[in-house]
Amino acid sequence: MGSWDSDRLVITSLAAGHESAVLRLSGELDHGSEMLYLDRIGAAVSAGYRYLVLDVTALVFCDSRGLNCLLALRWLLHRRDGMLLLACAGRHLAALLAVTGSTEALPVHLSVSQALATLPAEHRPAWPPADGTRPLLPLRSSESLESSWQQDKNPHLPPPSNGD
């Protein structure tokens, strides 16, 4: 399938190229959807996608926990010599990024096309996708969350549980 969802968050793959993907986040990115986000986005990163454009047009809510999810992804991609780009942020997310001083770390572009233009040409997927089909990205990560996300103590995620 080209989409992964829960009752709060839907992640849809829109395009994929060499080491890059465009994903749409719809719904809410917060404590309730954090594990789905970490698992599904972690699967894309584990599959080799180092350049991710997140179309956040349909993201209707993002709180501090959701912001930490975005910052964690930026941190992880940066460690893999990649980039995270946001496209089409609404007023709420734009205000959250501004008030927290996160606009430099998480640049927002007016469109997916504009975001893709900042990527190296060899890593840009075809946009818009020519035939309307959506790429199939992995549904689950081959790595555990701890190894893919918390390697070297990602400062944006809570520490791993002790199994208590």
CATH code for the domain of 91: 3.30.750.24
Q: Report the pLDDT value the prediction gives residue 162, as an integer from 0 to 100.
A: 59
Q: Does residue 155 form part of some domain?
A: no
State the number of CA atoms in the 13 A half-sphere of 23 facing the CB: 30
The residue length of the chain stands at 164
| Angle (deg, nearest 10), helices 34-46 and 64-79 | 10
pLDDT tens per residue, range 60-81: 999 999 999 999 999 999 999 9
The encoded tokens of residue 30 equal: 């917060």
> Is 58 part of a structural domain of the chain?
yes
Residue 42 sits at φ, ψ, to 5 deg, of -60, -35
Q: Quick one: what percent of the chain has pLDDT higher than 70?
A: 79
pLDDT of residue 144: 47
Which residues, in sequence order, are CB contacts of 144 under 8 Å at separation 6+? none
pTM for the whole structure: 0.83
Residue 160 is assigned to a structural domain of this protein: no
Amino acid at 131: D
Question: Smallest Cα–Cα separation from 52: which of 78, 28, 31, 26?
Answer: 78
Residue 29 belongs to domain spanning = 3-149
**What pLDDT score does 158 carry?**
59
- Per-residue pLDDT reduced to its tens digit, 108-155: 999 999 999 999 899 999 898 877 667 777 656 655 444 555 555 666
Q: How many domains does the chain have?
A: 1
User: Which residue type does 96 have?
Assistant: L
Cα→Cα distances 100→7, 9, 53, Å: 27, 23, 21
